[in-house]
Amino acid sequence: MDNKVIDFKDLGLKDYKETWDLQEALFKETLDVKISNRRENKTDLTTNHLLFVEHPHVYTLGKSGDMSNLLLNESQLKDKGASFYKINRGGDITYHGPGQVVGYPILDLDNFFTDIHKYLRLLEETIILTLADYGIQSERSPGETGVWLGVGTPFARKICAMGVRASRWVTMHGFALNVNADLGYFDNIIPCGIRGKAVTSLNVELGVEKIDEAQVKQKILKHFLDLFEAELKA
């Protein structure tokens, strides 16, 4: 029996490592239920989670990432007030920080569809529809996960990074949309290992100082639930 109910939490500003530990705990909990169901021929429902969070300045490197894409040494990281973690998602290096809406879906895709490619495309579509609400036309860039503006032009720029991990169709990690991000922090990395491509933020594109992040989160949540045909836990 499928369960398309999502337990949603907005964690506010939270340390990256603490949030990663929480993700791992929820991920393991879901996997344990699935393994127990299979072993004991049970049909216990797995829980789906969606976490929204904002992190203090941090750089994370995916398992296939290249350390040389981080352009700072340890003392320079300290000067910038940033931390660094090697983590177990796909993708290369990325930055998280204040002014960014980060979403971590911990879903059992057996409840939805067993197709990672479709999963990534729906995450991208969630952001594309959210940006369209602000009059911003965004799109996918062939061979490069995430959401981009100006694809195919000399002004191509990334507004949302994505990287996921999945095991037995249970997902973790997710997306990071730049809403009011300090883009200077991206100068310290080769974002996602892609040279010569710029990064942008929603406030920059709209030419305003600050966007209401709570409103952006509401729009992301609505599109996410619609695309996944899901509902929030009461």
- Give catalytic residues, as residue numbers: 192
Looking only at the bridges linking them, the beta strands covering 157-167 and 93-96 are unpaired
Question: Helix, strand, or coil here: 213?
Answer: helix
User: What residue type is 84 in one-letter code?
Assistant: F
Neighbours of 178 (CB within 10 A): 27
Q: b vs e for 85-120, b when ≥16 Cβ sit within 10 Å of the residue's Cβ?
A: eebebbbbbbbbbebbbbbbbbbbbbbbeeeeeebb
Neighbours of 207 (CB within 10 A): 6
CB-hemisphere CA count at 13 Å for 147? 26
| Beta partners for residue 166, in sequence order | 171
For the record, the structure tokens of 149 come out as 């503006």
For the record, the structure tokens of 156 come out as 């191509």
